[in-house]
Amino acid sequence: MSENINDPEQLETEAMDLFWMQRAYELAQRGAAEGEVPVGAVLVRNDEVIAEGWNRPISANDPTAHAEVNVLRAAAQQIGNYRLLNTTLYVTLEPCVMCAGALIHSRVSRLVYAAKEPRTGAVESVFDVLQDERHNHRVEVTSGVMAEECANLLQEFFRQKRLK
């Protein structure tokens, strides 16, 4: 919840973050149904979706086909520019080093992620790639939006895999 409940702009931002994260969660569920690790992502500019997707490294035979990279690629094609200025990426899991690097290079303005990734998270958990002062671009970060739901989805996915 917002630190200042009297700030309408902050309340609106939190509501939009929840709205778009719910969409990313739906996409993660779609990935799980396809047998992929359930991570979903949505890239938004001015409250409009530019691109959305989910993890596809298994089905695409592509180790770089993480949800974030898939969405950034699709968005760049959609707008005809590799610079994705003034955008927010919503993703259900803390990005890895590769995906964090892609956010920097694409100039995404803001990242909102749900669950922390304690083994490979490159935003806060293991590394702090996005805020490293050696980069010429910083990405604003909000974490924890729907963290419990997204973490539960991942845990259930891996629990089911272990049962097989």
| Residue keyed to tokens 């272990």 | 162
Query: In this structure, what DSSP letter does residue 136 have?
Result: S
Question: Which residue among 52, 68, 94, 117 is the active-site one?
Answer: 68
Give the residue ranges of DSSP H helices in the chain: 8-33, 57-60, 67-79, 97-106, 147-163
Distance CA 164, CA 159 (A): 9
| Residue keyed to tokens 């094609």 | 77
Distance CA 13, CA 155 (A): 28
Distance CA 101, CA 144 (A): 21
Distance CA 53, CA 37 (A): 12
148 is a catalytic site residue:
no
Residues carrying an active site annotation: 68
